[in-house]
Amino acid sequence: MAKPLFRGVCASSVTPFHSDGSLWLERLQPHIDWLIAEGVNAISPLGSSGEFPALECADRRRVLEAAIGAVGGRVPVVAGTHDYSTARTIELSRFAEQCGADALLIVPPYYMAPTPLQVMDHYRRIAEQVSIPILVYHNIPLTSVDLTTEHLLQLFEEGAIAGVKMSHPEPDRQCQLLQAAEGRFAVYAGIDTAAFEGLCHGSHGWISGIPSTVPRPARRLYDLIAVDGNLPAARELWTQLAPLMRLQFQAYHSRGEGAHWFSTMKAALNMIGPPVGDPQAPIRPLPPQHRETLAKMLRNLGYQISDQ
């Protein structure tokens, strides 16, 4: 694995769309410039926030090339190259490496619910075709695949993966993995509901909604815990960030009504940063009843709200 993995907060850059659903790639550069100015340690295009399931492979290539070009080497790029098909995942992964990605983020094959052993073979086959590090995007609710700590350690020992984005709502899954890994490979907090605990347990960084929506306070929280060891100040900051986390994950946790995490994210980015457009259908823009609540939370975090 030629390139070291980052430490800190990683923003999952969004994919801007016009109102007709076509790619709005001209908005990608200002969006990424804003994220970097906010202090992120890395950028991950085409994670969940990049709406990769809504894109054909050709458009995924366009987004990856444009995003890597927009970053321009200023911070590491962890490219999302997920696909159900192993062959297409390899194709996208090789393309991302050729474009200059520093690492790959790959969710397990979804929908068909392959067995853990089949999923492990998926990662092995990808690793044979690229030379940059691979992060497993561990996301049981959206893939129906649960690679255990033992599975993940085996893949690491074989050289197939270099780390894990752990999007598990139970903080102990991060803690268990960190304790078993003993610092040998990277573990990232992958869901905001378990981020504070994960960072306190020693996770290498944080890749989720809050770092992608309000990167400046997310970076501050990481530094307070991981760099300064100032837990009282970190708790105080998390008290300000937690309401945003709870709003974002209303519908996700209830499996029903409430604000959708991605509708909330794009609405927030349009309020405080360069415009990025609305989500692709079936995800809809954030309903009006949640917008003022969101705006108030963003003001409380020190952001100015635009009129757009």
- The catalytic residues are 137, 165
Convert the chain into a string of H (helix), E (strand) and C (coil): CCCCCCCEEEECCCCCECCCCCECHHHHHHHHHHHHHCCCCEECCCCHHHCHHHCCHHHHHHHHHHHHHHHCCCCCEEEECCCCCHHHHHHHHHHHHHHCCCEEEECCCCCCCCCHHHHHHHHHHHHCCCCCCEEEEECHHHHCCCCCHHHHHHHHHCCCCCEEEECCCCHHHHHHHHHHHCCCCEEEECCHHHHHHHHHHCCCEEECHHHHHCHHHHHHHHHHHHHCCCHHHHHHHHHHHHHHHHHHCHHHHHCCCCCCHHHHHHHHHHHHCCCCCCCCCCCCCCCHHHHHHHHHHHHHCCCCCCCC
Distance CA 148, CA 191 (A): 17
Q: Is residue 140 within 8 Å of residue 166, measured between CB atoms? A: no
Sign for the CA dihedral angle at 68, 32, 11, 6 comes to: positive
216, 206 Cβ separation under 8 angstroms? no
Give me the residue label for tokens 């190259």.
81
